Amino acid sequence: MSNSTSDCPTLDIVHAYVAAQRPRHISKIEKLSILQLHGFFRDQGEKAVSHKVATITARSVAVVKAVWAEFKSTGELVDGIPAANTTQHATRVPHTPVVEDLVRRFVRDRSATRTRTVAKDVVALLVKAKHIAIHVNKPADYHACIRAVRRFIQKQGYARGRRKEVSIRKAKLYGLDIFVGGKKVKDYHAMFNHSYFVQWFNKLMDEVEADGHRGIVFVMDNAKYHKGAPDDTPKGTWSKELLYLACLEYGIDVSPFDLRETMWLLLHAHVVAAVEPLVVQAAAARGHLVVYTPPYYSELQPIETVWAQVKGRVGMQYDEATSFAMVHQRLTQAFAELTSNNIDGHIRHSTSFLVDLAATLQSADDGDDSALMQDSASDDDASGACETDDDTDE
């Protein structure tokens, strides 16, 4: 017969099972067992009796001593009172997807305008939506509701306290590269090609990662060199044979007897939908994300409106005697004259534009066409808002 004990459970496993199965309160039967062990060890003249009893019963020393003290003081033991809160009680604030989504959108909309949200704001929202009710003449009920809402929003993951502001002095400039296109009468967009930008973007990611940043979101506009496809992407200048082979590679059903224009039409639609720009692929390979601003919505980018202001001030100083060095000097001066209030005005304008745009889209989803008509009529005035801010900030 084998004497191996490998199949026997360890003491830790036994204690864990007992602790999980028995109730948290001490029953009278368990108290009697603890008292019996007390009497046995004390009759044997043992020392540190409470510690030995606690080790055997897997109860704390304080509990074991309390049982002995109870018997010494009263001469008897009574059954422990079990916990009364054994059922799930109804909450003051309904924990339903409708309420959670309502609060989430409320906090998000107020955050977009940098408006601080506290529990009483959420209470007013839920009362108005008839999700909770408060006795108006009972202040105690109002404060109890405030506490319930605080617990609710904490469970939703919202932290209490003020949002930390970001100081400009803590900002760092990455990827500084002053591009000079030479003596060519062209906009720099025409000279700043895709290959140059890809090299610069890779250097930018190197600098960002060297500072310990991961998972960065890069926001770009819709300039052509920002969206350049990989070199092996099919092009409209390819021959019919190459286009046919590309169609086969991408799984596009074409015949070798189809016209070249037909092949390119199908292939171009697939490339636009499926092939991501090279910088998007490069960023994703390193754990970053590239997003593009909506086309024709420069108002959503404060840097666009700031740049428009700077170019406007420099352009108004142009005359026949203006040289490139003078343009550089005026450009530097225009940036130096930008105040914090001026930049904040551009940010507030973009934020307000975003909130109005979101409200318009929401109204469109709800079937309200009047908001779309009103927004269309106000689009012509949106571009002049930043110029008004320029006049008031100077």
Last residue of a domain, one of 156, 176, 193: 156
Structure tokens at 241: 């044979």
Q: Is residue 318 part of a domain?
A: no
What pLDDT, on the 0 to 100 scale, is given for residue 393? Answer: 43
Q: Is residue 20 part of a domain?
A: yes
Tell me the DSSP string of 233-246: S--TTS-HHHHHHH
What residues does 217 pair with on adjacent strands? 289
β-strands 289-292, 217-220: how paired?
parallel
Query: For residue range 35-67, what is the model confidence (pLDDT) as tens digits?
Result: 999 999 999 998 899 999 988 888 888 888 999
Q: Which has the closest alpha carbon to 310: 219, 225, 386? A: 386
- The confidence band for 179, taking pLDDT boundaries of 50, 70 and 90, is low
Distance from first CA to last CA of the chain, Å, rounded?
Answer: 98
Last residue of a domain, one of 134, 156, 178: 156
- Three-state SS at 290: strand
Q: Tell me: pLDDT of 286 over 70.
A: yes
In the chain, where does DSSP find H-type helix?
Answer: 11-21, 28-43, 49-57, 61-74, 97-112, 119-128, 139-155, 188-191, 194-210, 240-249, 260-274, 278-285, 302-315, 324-336, 340-365, 369-382, 385-393
- Three-state SS at 289: strand
Q: Tell me: pLDDT of 394 over 50.
A: no
- What is the C-alpha to C-alpha distance for residues 175 and 203, in angstroms, rounded to an integer? 7
Kindly report the CA angle at 300 between 294 and 304, in degrees rounded to 5? Answer: 100
What pLDDT, on the 0 to 100 scale, is given for residue 201? Answer: 92
What pLDDT, on the 0 to 100 scale, is given for residue 366? Answer: 73
Q: Is the same domain home to 70 and 101?
A: no
Cα dihedral value 52, 56, 60, 61, nearest 10? -20
Q: Is the same domain home to 57 and 101?
A: no
Q: Is the same domain home to 67 and 105?
A: no
Instruction: Go through 242-277 and write b for each residue having 16 or more CB atoms within 10 A of its CB, e for each that does not.
Output: ebbebbeeeeeebeeebeeeebbebbeeebeeebeb
Q: Is residue 298 part of a domain?
A: no
Q: Is residue 103 part of a domain?
A: yes
Structure tokens at 194: 């895709």
- Three-state SS at 171: coil
Q: Tell me: pLDDT of 94 over 80.
A: yes
pTM, rounded to two decimals = 0.45
What residues does 219 pair with on adjacent strands? 291
Structure tokens at 377: 């009529």
The answer to whether 305 and 355 have CB atoms below 8 angstroms apart is no
**Of 88-97, 157-166, 356-365, which gets the smallest average pLDDT?**
157-166
Q: Is residue 30 part of a domain?
A: yes
Q: Is the same domain home to 101 and 148?
A: yes
Query: For residue range 300-319, what is the model confidence (pLDDT) as tens digits?
Result: 888 888 888 888 888 888 88
- The confidence band for 8, taking pLDDT boundaries of 50, 70 and 90, is low
Q: Which has the closest alpha carbon to 352: 114, 102, 108, 168? A: 114
* Structural domains of the chain, count: 3
In 22-89, where does DSSP find H-type helix?
Answer: 28-43, 49-57, 61-74
Q: What is the chain's length?
A: 394
Q: Is the same domain home to 109 and 141?
A: yes
What residues does 289 pair with on adjacent strands? 217
| Rounded average pLDDT over 168-177 | 63
| Rounded average pLDDT over 263-290 | 90
Cα dihedral value 210, 214, 215, 220, nearest 10? -20
Residues in CB range of 298: below 8 A, 6 or more apart: 221, 304, 305, 308
What pLDDT, on the 0 to 100 scale, is given for residue 237? Answer: 87
- The confidence band for 87, taking pLDDT boundaries of 50, 70 and 90, is low
Q: Is residue 53 part of a domain?
A: yes
Q: Which has the closest alpha carbon to 79: 131, 32, 143, 14? A: 32
Q: Is the same domain home to 22 and 67?
A: yes
Domain that holds residue 246: 234-274
- The confidence band for 379, taking pLDDT boundaries of 50, 70 and 90, is low
| Rounded average pLDDT over 260-266 | 89
Query: For residue range 215-258, what is the model confidence (pLDDT) as tens digits?
Result: 999 988 888 888 888 888 888 888 888 888 888 888 888 888 88
Q: Tell me: pLDDT of 188 over 90.
A: no
| Rounded average pLDDT over 5-32 | 77
Q: Is residue 319 part of a domain?
A: no
The answer to whether 198 and 227 have CB atoms below 8 angstroms apart is no
**Of 188-197, 287-296, 297-306, 337-346, which gets the smallest average pLDDT?**
188-197
Tell me what the pLDDT averaged over the chain comes to. 81
Environment class of 305 (CB within 10 Å of its CB; exposed 0-12, middle 13-18, buried 19+): buried
What residues does 218 pair with on adjacent strands? 290
- What is the C-alpha to C-alpha distance for residues 219 and 221, in angstroms, rounded to an integer? 7
Q: Is residue 258 part of a domain?
A: yes
Q: Is the same domain home to 69 and 112?
A: no
